[in-house]
Structure 1
Amino acid sequence: MTTSPLPPTRSILREPAFVRLWSATTASGLATWALPFVLGLAVLERALSPVELGVVLAARTAGFLLAVPVGGVLADRHSRTSVARCAGLLAAVATPVIAVGLGRSAVLMAVAAIAVGAGQGACRPAFQALTAEVADGARRQQANAAMTLAVRITTLTAPGLTALLAVVVDVRTLLLGTAVLWLATALAPPGGRAPNGEAVDSAPRARFHTQFLEGVREAGRHPWFLAGLAALTAVIATGYSATGVALPLISRDRYGTEAVLAAALTAYTAGALAGALLIARWRPRSQGWAALAGLACYGLAPLSLVLPVHPALVVAAYVLAGLGIELFNVPWFTATQREVDPKMLARVSSLDFLMSYGLAPVGLVLIAPAIDAFGAHAVLLACALVCFAAPALAALVRGSRHFSQRPGGGGP
């Protein structure tokens, strides 16, 4: 079975192939976001120590980062569907091992978590490339908006669903539930094809690192991509870190309640949902500049924490930050799928995920010592300035106005 571009006369949401891909993405997102909360419940039940929790989650992140470039190369060598299915099966098989190790062996849990993270990481570039396969150019922006909606919905619902299920089932059963979600991830994607549209042959191939470097060189052919990726990485490493570390402290110490933390995070997700719905239909004339302006809105999040403003202003800032990040993400993914050589799309996408997600933990590690050394006011202000400046500098790079090297942009 092969996938082919869908006829432009029908909504992307009515196409079975895309619905299957969307379902797989949603299942993987639920499994990904549920795991930390399930293991957090294990800490509350004293089946897992906080240190062991940190080790297991760090192991999962390591597996993700190791697998993303591997998954990118494999998804460009073979059918993207096959790669996504193998990745989902790997995570589905490894997750019950975490349940077996719970309360018995932290080492076993960590090894299994590496495999789960590897499955998660290998899925990402395959799904990104599959989106370009099942949706034609005219509807890719709508498709990417629907995919990012799946991510935001899972972010919003996974913690609550996990907490509700924890009332009636134990932690090990919840872990097995995430394994079922990974199995759904493996089974749901539509049938795929090789990146060149033909069957994959058995001819000798270049070494892995050579093929990955080909993807890096392809990315280098698009200055707007490198500039946008640098801006995205800078914003995530600073603005995201401010949210992860400073917001909980300020919510507790300045406002005397965790309600501000909860409201801000909910507002961010609500803004992101609104942004995805908006960008599904909105086509800015200068889509690159509009997207980078949206990315810069993330600077409002750390800026709102600098001064003791009313909590409503903090919540409003996070709404705008969430709105802006999706006004960036959807055109960014769409332009990458349009402009990059289809035979190298998964590798270029893996570079995207590797840089933006890979440096996020670095920011989280550094921001707390920076706050201790320089004070929260200075660090938050610096984070806000980076979030504003990085997209502005990226907008000056050739091709950034339309996220395309072609005059007037690359079309839909």
Structure 2
Amino acid sequence: MWVLLRDRRFQAFWLGQATSVVGVGVTVVALPGLLLAHRAGTDFAYVLAAEAGTGAFFTILGGVFADRYSRSLLMAASDVLCVAGITAYLLLGADGPLWSLLLAAAVIGVGVGLYQPAHRAAMPQIVSGELLERANALDSATKRIGMAAGSALGGVLVATAGAEVALIVNVATYVVSLLTLLFLRLPAVTGSPGGGIGSVFAEARDGVRIVLRNRWATAIMLQGTIQVFFLFAPNYVLTAIVAVERYPKGAYGWITTAGFVGALVGSLIAGRIRTKRPGVVAMNAMAPCALLPVCLVWDVPLWVFCAIAFVAWAGISTFFVFWLSGLSRAFPPEVHGRVFGIEHLLTFCLDPVAKAVIPAVALGVGMGVFGIVAAVVLLVSTYAVLLVPGAVTLSNPPESARPSAVPTTAH
């Protein structure tokens, strides 16, 4: 890790994103503190939906832009959009019309959609070779620590100074991130783009085609879609329900904290693993997640639930370190933006639907039935992808041609 942190470019990238993610953690606590103090809960739900919807749509376009333009400047533009949206929350959150808050949420959603693929595509542009796993591990660990620290800081600020001050702190973190990105100034990976909006959508379609030609990558992306829908998204809601019904007050906080710590440990350990079969390591790391729905079914002691959350999230972080590094190596730099945009969209496209629908289904059919189905789905989908050529090594098989470029699109 110290080798990475001695690199001035990585220093700037890491410092800016570490500061920014702390701000995001602050907003997770501050925004409901601001809106729910003055508005109905439905308004808060509409705001979250507006941000999630625009973020999902612009992830694909953000991938195209990340392949066309400087990824650091695109992330800087995302910071500017987020600052504008949060400032609107500050000015209009208490008594502004609902449409203005929805517009502010949409602006932030656009910023998030632009940021996600650019951030992931920028990493292999800054760090290459065997240090890529360690860079992804440090990035993942930083996000876990930053979100936990930001949430704690947000809680303290809301309780002592108010939600408005907490959001102002978040704006300051985006300014720090913006300055580091302007210092970094990564060059664009392709030549000067041409064409209008039609060519943008054409390049998005080309990105989808090049991902679909890579069978192992497509299979693992679809695996993520299935697992988020059946396990991870509903588990987020159901764990909170079970914790309130079964354990003493504050139990959900302990379970969540155990997951945060496990994710941090998993990220740091994954950065030190060297293997010729990263796909097998990644899937084995995911397997303990099947124990999460078991904890929803049986009345296990709280310490057991926390221990399983620790192991499960350590495995999830380990998986993502190898998965993101494998994607970076399997596709050429000029399509990284679109690849990571498609990966993010496919993985989380059903997240809001699952959070809304699956918990009601689980309570309707019974937690026991849901838990068994969820555990089986996770285990089957985790190991079934290893049957796809290339999934064991997270790389293209020798007999398959490496996707070398996006099909030419007329501008």
**Alpha-carbon distance between aligned partners in 2 of 1:283 and 1:156, rounded to the nearest angstrom:** 29
Question: Displacement of 1:63 after TM fit?
Answer: 2.2
Deviation digits for residues 298-318 of structure 1, max 9, x if unmatched? 222112221112222211111
Matches within 5 A, 1:14-29: 14-29=6-21
Amino acid at match of 1:327: T
**Residues 202, 284 of structure 1: alpha-carbon distance in 2 compared, 3 angstrom cutoff:** closer
Distance 1:202 1:120 in 2: 23
2:189 aligned partner: 195
Partner Cα separation in structure 1 for residue 194 and residue 368 of structure 2:
59
Further displaced range: 310-319 or 202-211: 202-211
Q: Is the 8 A contact 1:245 1:367 kept in 2?
A: no
1:283 is paired with a residue whose SS is: coil
Distance in 2 separating the partners of 1:138 and 1:374: 48
Q: Of residues 204, 209, 231 in structure 2, which corresponds to 1:217?
A: 209
1:301 aligned to 289, 292, 296, which one?
292
The SS at the match of 1:137 is coil
Contact (CA 8 Å) 1:39, 1:48: kept in 2 or not? Answer: no
Q: Superposition pairs for residues 137-286 of structure 1, below 5 Å?
A: 137-189=129-181, 190-196=184-190, 200-201=191-192, 203-204=194-195, 207-255=199-247, 257-286=248-277
Unpaired segments ≥5 residues, structure 1: 1-8
Answer yes or no: is 1:388 the counterpart of 2:379.
yes
Q: Deviations over 1:84-116 (max 9, x none)?
A: 111111111221011111111222112101111
What's the offset of the Cα at 1:407? Answer: 4.4
Distance 2:109 2:194 in 1: 30
Partner of 1:34: 26
The amino acid that maps onto 2:388 is V
Pick aligned residue for 2:39 from 27, 32, 48: 48
Deviates more, 1:388-397 or 1:30-39: 30-39
CA contact (8 A) 1:224 1:397 kept: yes
Shift of 1:228: 1.1
Indicate conservation of the 8 Å contact 2:30/2:167, yes or no. yes
Please tell me whether the aligned partners of residues 24 and 184 of structure 1 are also in contact (alpha carbons under 8 angstroms).
Answer: yes
Does the 8 Å contact 1:299/1:385 carry over to 2?
yes
One-letter code of the match for 1:101?
Answer: L
- Give the conservation status (yes or no) of the 8 Å contact 1:43–1:53: yes
Is 396-405 or 203-212 further displaced after alignment? 203-212
What is the TM-score normalised by the length of structure 1?
Answer: 0.91
Matched, 1:402 2:362: no
TM-score by structure 2 length?
Answer: 0.91
Structure 1 residue 328, shift from structure 2 partner = 0.4
Give every structure 1 segment of 4 or more consecutive aligned residues whose post-TM-superposition deviation is greater than 3 Å: 202-206, 406-410
Q: Which moved more, 1:151-160 or 1:201-210?
A: 201-210
The size of the alignment, in residue pairs, is 397
Match of 2:310 in 1: 319
What residue is the counterpart of 1:58 in the other structure?
A: 49
Provide, for residues 318-363 of structure 1, a one-character-per-residue CA deviation record: whole Å limited to 9, x for no partner. 1111111011000101011111121111001000111112221121
